[in-house]
Amino acid sequence: MIRWNGITVKLLLAFFAVLLISFGVTAAISTWFVRSELRSGNERFERDQLSVIAALVRTAYREDWDENVLRSALQATAGPPGRVIYVVDGSGGVLLDTGRPDGEYLSAYREQLQPLLDQGVVITDRTLEGNENLRWSVTPINGPSDLAARSVVLMSGVRRQEINMFNGLYRNIFISMLITAVIIVFAVSRGMTARLRNMSEAARLIAKGRFDVRVKEKPRDEIGELAVSLNEMSGELASLDRMRREFLANVSHDLRSPLTSIGGYVEAMIDGAIPEEKRGAYLGLIREQTQRMNRLVNDLLEVARMEAGQTGLLPAPYNLTEWVRRLLAALEPDFRRRSLSFELDAGPEDVWVYADPDRIDQVLSNLLLNAIQFSPDGRSIEVSIERKEKTAVVGVRDYGVGIPSENLERIWERFYKSDKARSARSGSGLGLSIVKNVLEQHGTTAKVESKPGEGSLFSFELPIVYPPPYPRAQVPRNPR
């Protein structure tokens, strides 16, 4: 079914317009050129013909030919049908003609022809007032002075045969090309619109949640590239939907578990089921679960701010080494709980960088919490700050489970977890996505090196600045 506002009709109309304009311009130029060439050729032909006729008349009068013989000879040299030759005297009177013996047709235009006869030169392809369909040519005979015949007048009609043949041929070519082009354009446009309709239907299914839909990608033209993009979008949406479902399940579990624990501990305390000497330990468990919930909620809020474009930077020169020391001190309870040790390798001098202290602190917190989460009990975690020309390279190394090589590119995606069994206990799958976003805002990127069973090294670079003359280590930290 053809849609009158569809691409097929629009392409056909556009092609018709281009074809008509092209053929119209070409026909006008070609017709003008053909007419000009025909007229020029006719003029040359008539000049030669008039010269031959004048010589023939001179010979006939000199040798005293019979009038009928001369008329027959002139008729033989008249050329195409419809041409009439008049032999006239000095006053325009007809002495002999090949068409009308009485010369009545010439008499009607005698007054207009007389000025042409009086000029005594060859004149070709002229029209006279009153009849545009007759063409007149005149030549003097240039015979002896006593010769009565002075001029030859050649009358012919407008030669339309050649023009009509040309126009007919051009019209037939135009109609043939138009029909052929319509068939080709219709077939091509129908194929294009069929592919577009398939993609439109696939887009509607994707909008309804059918992320398994795929469309044909060949041939690889612009529509094929659109099909590739549509398939990639469907795949990304399927992956995002899968991660979203996993994320919702993990978040639901991560929120329900601490709430259940906190509720149980609080009810036990209210009921007096917990001895007084153990209340401190239970309050510590409640605080731990509260901190876990707080981290999860903060990650969710951070992702929401990132998506809304509300995460600006407040860069300033500050003592990165001192901030890392404070961060490690703040995370010491987490290290102690897992019997983990940590080491800071920052060189003999503190390193100052130009960045947003709170945002970089957030990056390091996420990297360290990941290292704590994926490290076996009793292992070590190393933080390094190394000067490299004009930048400081910050690294966080753990000796935990590591990351498979096929997962290294995906760990930066939101909601993605490489080790679902382990990270389901406390991770949200948002930490590394936040790290990536914050570092990109600083104009740098995070790098990762990892081998399964040997641990991972996360690193990034920040621009080094010289420390100001006044202490900046006292830059206030946002409460965690």
DSSP H or E run through 94: strand 94-97
Distance CA 372, CA 134 (A): 109
Which of 161, 155, 143, 157 shows the shortest CA–CA distance to 49? 155
pLDDT in tens, 145-175: 778 888 888 887 766 556 667 677 777 887 8
Q: State the pLDDT at residue 320.
A: 93
Among 450, 367, 449, 366, residue whose Cα is nearest residue 401: 450
pLDDT-above-90 percentage for the chain: 11
Model pLDDT for residues 91-144, shown as the tens digit of each residue: 878 888 887 544 456 677 777 777 878 887 888 777 777 676 777 788 888 888
| Upper half-sphere CA count for residue 308 (Cβ side, 13 Å) | 8
Query: Which amino acid is present at 119?
Result: Q
**Amino acid (1-letter code) at residue 172:** N
Sign of torsion over alpha carbons 182, 185, 191, 196: negative
For residue 265, give the DSSP letter. Answer: H
Find the radius of gyration of the CA atoms of the chain. Answer: 51
Kindly write down the DSSP assignment for every residue of 266-326, as one continuous string: HHHHHHT-S-GGGHHHHHHHHHHHHHHHHHHHHHHHHHHHHHHT------EEEEHHHHHHH
pTM of the model: 0.47
What's the rounded Cα separation, in Å, for the pair 75 and 98?
6
Strands 380-388 and 341-345: parallel
Nearest partner of 432 among 409, 460, 411, 408, judged by Cα: 411
Q: What residues contact residue 241 under an 8 Å CB cut-off, 6+ apart?
A: 209, 211
Q: Which residue has the tokens 């040309």?
A: 166
Closest CA to 149 of 214, 216, 238, 89: 89
Residue type, 229: S
Provide, for the chain, the percentages of residues in helix, strand and coil under a 3-state DSSP scheme, each rounded to the nearest 5. 55, 15, 30
d(CA 384, CA 367): 13
CB 134 within 8 A of CB 155: yes
Give the pLDDT band of residue 352 (cuts 50, 70, 90): very high
Q: Return the sign of the alpha-carbon dihedral for residues 311, 317, 319, 321.
A: positive
Mean per-residue pLDDT of the chain: 79
446-477 pLDDT per residue, tens:
999 988 888 899 999 999 998 765 544 444 44
Distance CA 455, CA 382 (A): 11
Give the whole-angstrom CA distance, residue 367 versus residue 455: 13
Per the structure block, which two tokens stand in for 28? 């006008």
Report which of 321, 368, 356 is spatially closest to residue 467, judged by C-alpha positions.
321
Whether the bond into 468 is cis, omega within 30 of 0: no
Identify the weakest region by mean pLDDT among 74-88, 276-290, 465-479. Answer: 465-479
pLDDT at 419 over 60: no
CA-CA-CA-CA torsion sign (55, 56, 61, 63)? positive
8 A C-beta contact, residue 88 and residue 117: yes
Both tokens assigned to 221: 């033209």
Q: Tell me, what DSSP letter sits at residue 464?
A: B
